[in-house]
Structure 1
């Protein structure tokens, strides 16, 4: 199986466990007359199981997984204490805000979060090539830092919009709009990423997804 196939399969699993399944569980339970708080919590269990099982399989808990688990635990605990379903909805805003802030913070660390995030979706062989490119190419490192900054800023804007939705709209409507907002945010950021990638490809000959195209990097 190729690295591209492994990455696509991992991405599909993430989309299902973090978006599709929780949404289906929420609206399915609501249709059965279950209260919004319990329906929201039940949906998040699927996400938690995926994060934990992935960590156990890989025998390591990365920063992305830790962030997701912390958000799930804090939001579930807070909402349990108050019985307020909106706190669970605010969780999504808090989650994107934390991810956006952490993306920006990692610009000051050894490696930006986007490096590790992309690495999660790769096969073992692809991860070795990814690591080697980071060690050898200054242009590659700079491009990933620029992209990490763009994704960080984008998620912070997304968080503000998500908070407004959670606090002003009916509880049953917010989960669907949250997912739609995420789709829009990701599409916009992917367009930005492609524009940045095109710039680095034109100016430096850098192919972010093809290690063989790095001959002009410095």
Structure 2
């Protein structure tokens, strides 16, 4: 678990930002520095795909961003379009999370948790079936993450088109990390207040109704 977290921090955050400013120090054009510095996350996805013989949804998302980034560079050469490449995908994810409140059987936030905790799926589904507070907290979290993602995307787009290009990668990474931490704190507070996951991780296989 710790190794996965360190790998994510290194390849998804530190390497792209550090790589961008390193390339700029060697006078690589901003648009190409942005394109090349986006490769480490994709390389990590390909490595994990070869190791585990599969690519998950997030891996596909990362590869798609890199592909769009390369296409943007080749077709337009516009560095500012490169800066907002991830923001537009975040807009789609935010809309998808909000839409899941009306479309489908479960909010996206709950579906993601089921995927992360396959060994607890039966207990979680039992809780979903018989506890209104449990269903409500996951719907609230879908709103929190959906709206949070849209606000983060809006901030990224504003920065990309109003600030100097070389300033944006560092600021945008800081915004991304700060937004993620804030959303995680809100998530943990809401889940702790509802209480289900606390009982689940104390080792109980069956979750009593609240």
- Contact 1:197–1:208 (CA<8 Å) still a contact in 2? no
- Contact 1:48–1:69 (CA<8 Å) still a contact in 2? yes
| Pair 208,162 (structure 1): closer, same or farther in 2 beyond 3 Å | farther
- Contact 2:69–2:82 (CA<8 Å) still a contact in 1? yes
2:166 aligns to what SS in structure 1? coil
- Contact 1:100–1:156 (CA<8 Å) still a contact in 2? yes
Cα distance in 2 for residues equivalent to 1:101 and 1:208: 31
Once superposed, what is the RMSD of the aligned Cα atoms?
A: 2.6
Q: What is the TM-score with the length of structure 1 in the denominator?
A: 0.80
- CA drift of 1:76 comes to 2.3
Q: What is the TM-score with the length of structure 2 in the denominator?
A: 0.82
- CA drift of 1:115 comes to 4.7
Aligned pairs for 1:81-100 within 5 A: 81-100=75-94
Partner of 2:207: 215
Aligned residues: 204
Cα distance in 1 for residues equivalent to 2:182 and 2:161: 24
- CA drift of 1:71 comes to 2.5
2:198 aligns to what SS in structure 1? coil
Cα distance in 1 for residues equivalent to 2:108 and 2:52: 18
Q: Which of structure 1's runs of 4+ aligned residues deviate more than 4 A?
A: 115-120, 139-142
- CA drift of 1:35 comes to 1.3
Runs of 5+ unmatched residues, structure 1: 1-5
Runs of 5+ unmatched residues, structure 2: none
| Pair 175,49 (structure 1): closer, same or farther in 2 beyond 3 Å | same
Cα distance in 2 for residues equivalent to 1:208 and 1:85: 49
Partner of 1:3: none
- Contact 1:206–1:216 (CA<8 Å) still a contact in 2? no
- Contact 1:100–1:152 (CA<8 Å) still a contact in 2? yes
Which of 17, 28, 34 aligns to 1:34? It is 28
Aligned pairs for 1:57-68 within 5 A: 57-68=51-62
Question: Is 2:171 aligned against 1:181?
Answer: no
Cα distance in 2 for residues equivalent to 1:37 and 1:119: 39
